[in-house]
């Protein structure tokens, strides 16, 4: 099976702009989770989608949003970018999302200038 | 989320076994013990998970204490490719607020010497 894919791999944006990141899960996986990784805060959970519904959400401002499509592909959007949003954004898929293991993509490196 | 405690770093020599400890004294009955690792410049990678019994797979073994308050990830023969940050994570198997959520701590940085 193909792994989790994320596009784009690298992105440079300017403060105030918005950005959309894409994630394609492993075939058959219905749960998609998003994480932000920074040197200072480590890996932090953003949100999780299952069957097009957000089931769980981390402690991030409303500028961070996401959605999931009927084919389980997911997108996350960050509006009004701030310098502190520079991070590696990781997507992970799993079969159900509870105790099941997650499989991570390579991430999208976002730099905000 | 129940908390885990891991050493900040450990070192090993290539082809020797490595035992990575994790303490989780506040673990609940529905918490699964998961281990992930993150190699440099890559996303985290699932290693193994268990609930009560010891588990083995092609990558590693997981030894769980009888009272479940601690566990040990065992790499039977370390290779240079095993140099990574290893995370011990508790996940509530009952779902709810744990859906899709892994709570990563600082993990253990494993250095493998040739």
Q: Which residues from B are below 8 Å from A31, CB to CB? A: 99-100
Residue with tokens 């250095």: B111
pLDDT digit string (tens) for B28-63? 888 899 999 999 889 999 999 999 999 999 999 999
Q: Which residues from B are below 8 Å from A30, CB to CB? A: none
CB contact under 8 A, B93 and A99: yes
User: What is the pLDDT, as a whole number, of residue A49?
Assistant: 94
Contact B55, B38 (CB under 8 A): no
pLDDT digit string (tens) for B67-82? 999 999 999 999 999 9
pLDDT averaged over every residue in chain B: 93
CA distance B94 to chain A (A): 7
Please provide the distance, in angstroms rounded to a whole number, between the alpha carbons at the two ends of chain A: 37
pLDDT of A27 above 80: yes
Q: Which residues of B41-79 are buried (b: 16+ CB within 10 A; e: fewer)?
A: eebbbbbbbbeeeebeeeebbbbbeeebebbbbebeebe
CB contact under 8 A, B97 and A56: yes
Q: Does A98 touch chain B (CB under 8 A)?
A: yes
Report how far residue B14's alpha carbon sits from residue A40's, in angstroms, rounded to the nearest whole number.
31
Residue with tokens 């506040």: B26
Nearest to B44 among A31, A32, A104 (CB): A104
Q: Identify the sign of the CA torsion A23, A52, A38, B43.
A: negative
pLDDT of A60 above 70: yes
CA dist list (Å): A43 to A81, B24, B62, B76, B103: 19, 19, 23, 27, 8
Q: Does B95 touch chain A (CB under 8 A)?
A: yes
CB contact under 8 A, B94 and A48: no
CB contact under 8 A, A48 and B101: yes
> What is the DSSP track for B38-74?
E-TTS--EEEEEESSS-EE-SS-EEEE-TTSSEEEEE
pLDDT of A57 above 90: yes
Confidence band (pLDDT; 50, 70, 90) for B100?
confident
């Amino acid at each position: 099976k193909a792994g989790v894919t994320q596009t784009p791999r690298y992105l440079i944006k300017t403060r105030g702009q918005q950005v959309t990141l894409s994630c394609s899960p492993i075939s058959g996986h219905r749960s998609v989770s998003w994480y932000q990784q920074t040197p200072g805060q480590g890996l932090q959970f953003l949100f999780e989608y299952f069957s097009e519904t957000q089931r769980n959400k981390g402690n991030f401002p409303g500028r961070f949003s996401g959605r999931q499509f009927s084919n389980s592909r997911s997108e996350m959007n960050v509006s009004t970018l701030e310098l502190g949003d520079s991070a590696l954004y990781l997507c992970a898929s799993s079969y159900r999302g509870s105790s099941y293991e997650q499989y991570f993509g390579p991430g999208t490196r976002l730099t905000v200038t | 989320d129940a908390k885990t405690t891991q050493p900040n770093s450990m070192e090993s020599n290539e082809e020797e076994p490595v035992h990575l400890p994790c303490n989780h004294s506040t673990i609940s009955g529905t918490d699964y013990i998961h281990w992930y690792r993150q190699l440099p410049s890559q996303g985290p990678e699932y290693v193994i998970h268990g609930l009560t019994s010891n588990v083995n797979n092609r990558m590693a073994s997981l030894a769980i204490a009888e009272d479940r308050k601690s566990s040990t990830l065992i790499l039977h023969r370390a290779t240079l490719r095993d140099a990574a940050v290893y995370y011990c994570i508790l996940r509530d198997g009952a779902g709810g607020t744990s859906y899709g959520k892994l709570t990563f701590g600082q993990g253990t940085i494993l250095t493998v010497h040739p």
